[in-house]
A = this chain, B = another copy of it.
């Protein structure tokens, strides 16, 4: 089995039984590995135990690995305490990796600490929102540092694998730069775009299309949590925000001067960026095309359209449902590999669906 090859035999102590900690417990138990749970809130431990995520930690327990899954503000102190308590390998699952390392860099057992960060979550929180399949197929960053033991990093990578995720090794600094770019700065820009809508007249908002919904969706996240995350990664975030401010100034200048070539150059950077994001399954970006199906808004229609789409033999790469104002018809977007749209379109039309590209 994978977990034996990788040397993860357990038990694994999980400190903090919120969404992530409890989900890790569930995933490990699914793999048959012993899990020891603790939390500042004893009710959360009882809930997590009740869900089957492990058993309460006892003083005599000797974990092989400790997973610290507490809020960003408390990571440093809890990792420090875990390193002092035993010679177990210690990891954490916080969204930022340099700050907790800095907090324990002077610890005599810092070689046993290797941070990590599963790229999975939910807008919900607490143990009741947990799931043993939360990490299935997700990237899970593992961030060894100059002073860390290789076997400690391997054990943390094994944790990711056993939980169903794909471990990706990066240094803590690289990780923080990566998430500043792929998560924190996009979040802040989404919040700036969404903020412009807060006091907009209703009749202006009536013109909202799918684009603005997509751009602003992540901005619905908890301000307190994102405040902790962004300030814990201030260096990498500020580097990029400075770049963003320069480019924003250039956009403003280009619009003021009606300097089309300059504006088009800035927009072309964005096009290049969207093409740089890896495609489904982490492979190179696949070229796709979309077709649209008009969808009566009652239960059963989705099942019928996917049954008919399945019968066409064309694999659906992505689906998206559009929200339509003023009438009970939805628009379903089906994304397929380039060149397959015609076949799907013809097949759906032959079954009576109203479609377009």
- Return the contact of A218 from the options B200, B215, B330 (Cβ within 8 A): B215
CA distance A138 to B324 in the complex (A): 6
Chain A residues 68-110 with CB under 8 Å of chain B are: none
Is A263 a contact of B230 with CB atoms below 8 Å? yes
Whether B256 contacts A252 by the Cβ 8 Å rule is no
| Contact flags A217-248 to B (C-beta < 8 A → 1, else 0) | 11111011011101100100110111111011
A residues 3-60 with Cβ under 8 Å of B? none
Q: Would you call the interface of chain A mostly helix, strand, loop, or mixed? A: helix
Chain B, Cβ-Cβ closest to A261: B227
**Known interface pairs A183-B209, A189-B192, A319-B302; A326-B219 also in contact (CB < 8 Å):** no
Asked if A351 is an interface residue, CB under 8 A from chain B, the answer is no
User: Which residues on B sit within 8 Å (CB–CB) of A198?
Assistant: 269-270, 272-273, 276
Which residues of A come within 8 Å of B, CB atoms?
119, 122-124, 129-134, 136-139, 141, 166, 168, 170, 174-175, 177-179, 181-183, 185-209, 211-221, 223-224, 226-228, 230-231, 234, 237-238, 240-245, 247-249, 251-252, 255-256, 258, 260, 263-282, 289-290, 292, 294, 297-300, 302-303, 305-310, 313-316, 318-321, 323-332, 354-357
For the complex formed, measure the closest distance between the CB of A8 and the CB atoms of chain B, giving whole angstroms: 19
